Amino acid sequence: MDDSFDPYRIWLGIPLSEQPADHYRLLGIARFETDPEVIENAANRQMSYLRTFQSGAHVGLAQRLLNEVSAAKICLLHPDRRNAYDSQLQANPVTPAEAVSAKLAHGEPADNQGTPATRITTSSAPEAPPLPQVRTALPPRTRRASPWPLLLAMMLIVILLGALIVFFNRRDHSKPDKSSSTGANPIDSTDNRLQQPAWDWLAT
């Protein structure tokens, strides 16, 4: 195993100048965060990310960081433990760089088991696990105009035309036949008796 491998820097993005990292730094949240939902979500995210390294070449380091993140989660989610831990942070104004230098001067390894740091640079956040790629939502398709209104209008026009044709046909059939009326013999208004001889008419 490579002794120069730094899982805090490589996996969590915590440089040597910010080690040993406190619980808040391990979870990648603001110091003295009190929202339990924020704390739990951050811890779960870090542990899910670290589990991806359990099958690699640094299984022991991955398990070690998992245990530290789990301990930080339990501590910060318990109000009494969190208050005691915050008091410890405020009572030990030792920077991570100073703690590392002191350990190296005494021949101790620069691990993450020492006094928690008090000055944390919040600008450098830990490496977050790769997020799933989100597809960009496509603009909604323009709905085509329904052909039904046009079809209904055409049907209505056909019906109106049919009604007009039927109306005019009936009107033509209702008119008297001029040919039949003109071809008939006119009524002879002259009394036939006037055409008879006068003596015949008087006899009748």
- Quick: pLDDT tens for 152-186: 889 989 998 988 888 888 877 766 555 555 554 55
Kindly give, in sequence order, each residue whose CB lies less than 8 Å from that of residue 60, ignoring residues fewer than 6 positions away.
1
Question: In which domain, by residue range, is 36 found?
Answer: 7-105
Instruction: Please check the confidence at residue 57 and state whether its pLDDT lies above 50.
Output: yes
Asked whether 1 and 58 are in contact (CB, 8 A), the reply is yes
Q: H/E element holding 24? A: helix 23-27
Asked whether 204 and 193 are in contact (CB, 8 A), the reply is yes
129 or 54, which is more confident: 54
pLDDT single digits (tens) 14-36 = 999 999 999 999 999 999 999 99
Asked whether 113 and 67 are in contact (CB, 8 A), the reply is no
In the numeric block, which tokens belong to residue 155?
């049907």
Q: Is residue 87 part of a domain?
A: yes
12 half-sphere exposure, CB direction, 13 A CA radius:
33
State the DSSP string of 112-144: S-SSPPS---TTSPPPPPPPPPPPPPPPPPPPP
pLDDT single digits (tens) 69-127 = 999 999 999 999 999 999 999 998 555 545 544 444 344 444 444 444 433 333 344 45
Q: Is residue 68 part of a domain?
A: yes
Instruction: Please check the confidence at residue 147 and state whether its pLDDT lies above 50.
Output: yes
Instruction: Please check the confidence at residue 46 and state whether its pLDDT lies above 80.
Output: yes
CA-only gyration radius of the chain, Å: 53
Q: Is residue 95 part of a domain?
A: yes
- Residue 64 binned pLDDT confidence (cut-offs 50, 70, 90): very high
Instruction: Please check the confidence at residue 66 and state whether its pLDDT lies above 70.
Output: yes
Q: Is residue 64 part of a domain?
A: yes
Q: Is residue 115 part of a domain?
A: no
Q: Which range, 64-73, 98-107, 139-148, 191-200, has the best average confidence (pLDDT)?
A: 64-73
Q: How many residues does the chain have?
A: 204
Q: Is residue 192 part of a domain?
A: no
pLDDT confidence of residue 125:
43
Nearest Cα to 27, choosing from 127, 116, 118? Answer: 127
Asked whether 62 and 51 are in contact (CB, 8 A), the reply is yes
Q: Is residue 145 part of a domain?
A: no
The alpha carbon torsion through 29, 35, 39, 44 (nearest 10 deg) reads -130
Q: Distance between CA 81 and CA 95 in Å, rounded?
A: 22
The count of domains in the chain is: 1
5 or 110, which is more confident: 5
pLDDT confidence of residue 92:
84
Residue 98 maps to which CATH number? 1.10.287
Q: Is residue 85 part of a domain?
A: yes
Instruction: Please check the confidence at residue 40 and state whether its pLDDT lies above 50.
Output: yes
